[in-house]
């Protein structure tokens, strides 16, 4: 998985959607094609990070009279990307946000069916944000390493199966407004001074536990990471945040006091995640290999 791998001997291209939250520098470095999700403020529609930046979305989020919505790219957006990418005979591995929270995967599958003579593999990550992002990055690095389609798909599956996701939110309000609060519904009436820690299980956000106080929740996050790490494996760490860079940096510092990671990526999450977790959310998405 070294970023210094040799050039690819195979013509395989990596496609994803903007929910992956990969920093732009990595998208450009690994020539990853990102299809933007759609952001809706009332009747206004924008393409994520193309027509609306993360900063502008976060500025408008708490001011919105009605909750902003996000939606999947239409099949036509994927068709255009796939048709262009495969026109020269290349294959495509297309990795997308969990089908249990978004219609993005289905849009990509429809687009693939419109190009039956092209070699296009569409993968349901059952994750989002940097969980999905790590899968995309691993695939792109395998391409640079000259791996086959089958080897890349095996890597992607392995990374996804080993992902650990822990997210702290300031409030469950945004998840509730968007109908994604799930089993954490029972916590809604008892959130004063309590910070919920959420995880991702089988492709959906689930409650893990409640912690009293901001400092304690950071300490608990570190404990949970420690409990989940096997010292016989190497680890990659992703830290995401929704307008909470200070907390993200504190979390990074706290984790690096106790653990050694092969790579650490800090990413500001975009509209698709931020609209659901709200400002102030942050967390970790890591895997071992």
**β 91-96/120-124 pair status:** parallel
End of a domain among 99, 126, 160? Answer: 160
Position 108 scores a pLDDT of 98
pLDDT above 60 for 136: yes
On whether both 174 and 156 belong to a single domain, the answer is: no
In a domain, 1, yes or no: no
Sign (positive or negative) of CA dihedral 47, 149, 30, 201: positive
Residue 95 near residue 123 (C-beta atoms within 8 A) = yes
Do residues 243 and 275 touch, judged by C-beta distance below 8 A? no
Kindly give, in sequence order, each residue whose CB lies less than 8 Å from that of residue 261, ignoring residues fewer than 6 positions away: 235, 236, 237, 255, 286
Q: Average the pLDDT over 184-208 and give the result.
A: 73
Query: How much is the pLDDT for 170?
Result: 81
Looking at the domain assignment, is residue 57 inside a domain?
A: no
**DSSP code for 270:** -
Tens of pLDDT, residues 209-233: 988 876 799 999 999 999 989 989 9
Look at residue 185 and tell me whether its pLDDT is greater than 80: no
CATH (domain of 228): 3.30.1180.10
24 and 123 inside one domain: yes
Domain that holds residue 217: 163-288
Is residue 55 situated within a structural domain? no
**pLDDT band with cut points at 50, 70 and 90 for residue 186:** very low
Give how far Cα 275 sits from Cα of 64, 70, 270, 279, Å: 11, 8, 8, 8
Q: Are residues 88 and 16 in the same domain?
A: yes
Is 6 inside any structural domain? no
| pLDDT reported for residue 172 | 72
- Mean pLDDT (whole number) for 50-73: 90
- In 3D, which of 106, 159, 138, 145 has the Cα closest to residue 14? 138
150 is written with which tokens? Answer: 């089958």
CB neighbourhood size of 163 (10 A): 21
Give the pLDDT confidence score for residue 178 in this predicted structure. Answer: 52
pLDDT at 156 over 50: yes
């Amino acid at each position: 998985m070294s970023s210094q791998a040799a050039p690819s001997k195979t013509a395989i291209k990596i496609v994803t959607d903007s929910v992956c939250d990969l920093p732009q520098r990595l998208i450009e470095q690994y020539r990853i094609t990102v299809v933007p999700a759609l952001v809706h403020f009332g009747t206004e529609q924008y393409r994520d990070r193309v027509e609306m930046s993360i900063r502008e979305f976060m500025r408008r989020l708490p001011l919105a009279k009605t909750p902003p919505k996000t939606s999947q790219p239409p099949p036509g957006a994927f068709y255009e990307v796939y048709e262009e990418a495969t026109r020269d005979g290349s294959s495509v591995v297309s990795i997308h946000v969990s089908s249990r929270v978004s219609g993005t995967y289905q849009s990509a599958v429809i687009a693939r069916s419109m190009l039956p003579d092209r070699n296009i593999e569409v993968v349901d990550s059952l994750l989002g944000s940097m969980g999905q992002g790590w899968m995309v990055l691993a695939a792109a690095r395998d391409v640079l390493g000259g791996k086959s389609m089958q080897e890349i798909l095996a890597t992607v599956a392995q990374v996804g199966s080993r992902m650990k996701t822990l997210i702290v939110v300031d409030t469950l309000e945004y998840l509730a407004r968007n109908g994604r609060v799930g089993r954490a519904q029972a916590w809604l009436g008892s959130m004063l001074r309590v910070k919920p820690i959420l995880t991702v299980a089988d492709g959906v956000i689930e409650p893990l536990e409640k912690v009293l106080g901001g400092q304690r929740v950071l300490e608990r996050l570190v404990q949970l990471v420690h409990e989940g790490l096997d010292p016989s494996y190497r680890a990659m760490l992703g830290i995401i945040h929704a307008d909470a860079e200070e907390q993200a940096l504190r979390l990074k510092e706290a984790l690096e006091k106790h653990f050694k990671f092969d790579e650490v990526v800090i990413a500001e999450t975009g509209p698709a995640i931020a609209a659901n977790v709200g400002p102030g959310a942050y967390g970790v998405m890591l895997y071992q290999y």
